[in-house]
Amino acid sequence: MTFYLFLPLLFSKIKNLSHAILFFVITLIIYQINTILHNMPLIPESETWEIFLFLWFPTQLSAFSFGIMLFFLLDNRISSGRSNISWLIVLFSFVLLYFAIYAGMPAWMPYYLIFTMGFLGFSVALGLSPLIFVNRFIVLMGKLSYSCYLMHFGIIEFLQIIIYKKQLVSVAGVAPELLLLLLYVIVIFATIIAAKITYALIELPGIKLGNKVIGLLENKTADVTLPPKSMPFKS
């Protein structure tokens, strides 16, 4: 959640796609701290140290930069009416994804960016061809995306406990890939169900409350900046 503390600052500094790309490059430079810390662990437990290096803020920062680039890509396409550049980015994104999966990511880039690049291309494609990609399921996932993001961690952890407790890691006669696919489907549907509940009970009321607070602050600011109606302007 640390990223959201920096979000107001980023909004004030990142004004266009060039700024967003520069921010992505900066996040990759910051990520190089991991290389140093990987070779200089500060605790004796190597496994715990690796988990920390994966989860801490500098490692995850570059994934957020892709979301900022996506915003400007779609915003530029809508405002200019030209989609050729965006289509090239979609193609380039999936080409990178293909080679990254089979050749591996370079050491100076987080490996999870393989999936981030793929989702970047898919998201741009959503904006380019809504008649093909936009449907009721995709719209629902967009509405519930933040709730899904918050809920899926707990659901995966819960399923892991059940799997290891019931010794379901391997089932005789069933391919591991099939078990993984089944687990993936269960996670998706369980996450959607949980997210719909939290969206209705927590997120929507929170949005309404936030809108009320913003409205009150804006009205208060307007009252301070505007002169009283009883005081006419002097010519």
Residue 173 pLDDT grade (very low, low, confident, very high; cuts 50, 70, 90):
low
DSSP 152: H
SS3 category, 129: coil
Domain assignment present for residue 230? The answer is: no
- Other residues' Cβ atoms within 10 Å of the Cβ of residue 35: 12
154 with 114, same domain? no
Domain encompassing residue 172? 135-224
Percent of the chain with pLDDT over 90: 11
SS3 category, 53: helix
Q: pLDDT digit string (tens) for 138-157?
A: 888 888 988 998 898 899 88
The answer to whether the beta carbons of residues 20 and 14 sit under 8 Å apart is yes
CA 89 – CA 154 distance, rounded (Å): 34
124 with 150, same domain? no
Q: pLDDT digit string (tens) for 85-136?
A: 556 666 777 777 677 667 666 667 777 777 787 777 777 777 776 666 677 8
Q: Which residues contact 122 (CB under 8 A, 6 or more apart)?
A: 133
Q: Which residues contact 93 (CB under 8 A, 6 or more apart)?
A: 117, 118, 120, 121, 124
CA 133 – CA 232 distance, rounded (Å): 57
Domain count within the chain = 2
Q: Which residues contact 21 (CB under 8 A, 6 or more apart)?
A: 69
Question: Is residue 199 predicted with pLDDT exceeding 90?
Answer: yes
25 with 125, same domain? yes
pLDDT at 234: 44
Q: What is the pTM of this model?
A: 0.61
Domain assignment present for residue 235? The answer is: no
CA 42 – CA 216 distance, rounded (Å): 48
Residues shown for the chain:
235
H/E stretch holding 137? helix 136-165
Residue 170 pLDDT grade (very low, low, confident, very high; cuts 50, 70, 90):
low
Among 31-35, 74-78, 231-235, the range scoring the smallest mean pLDDT is 231-235
58 with 23, same domain? yes
Among 96, 113, 134, identify where a domain stops: 134
19 with 57, same domain? yes
Question: Is residue 30 predicted with pLDDT exceeding 60?
Answer: yes
Q: pLDDT digit string (tens) for 6-28?
A: 888 888 889 888 899 999 889 88
Q: Which residue has the higher pLDDT, 193 or 81?
A: 193
Domain assignment present for residue 4? The answer is: yes
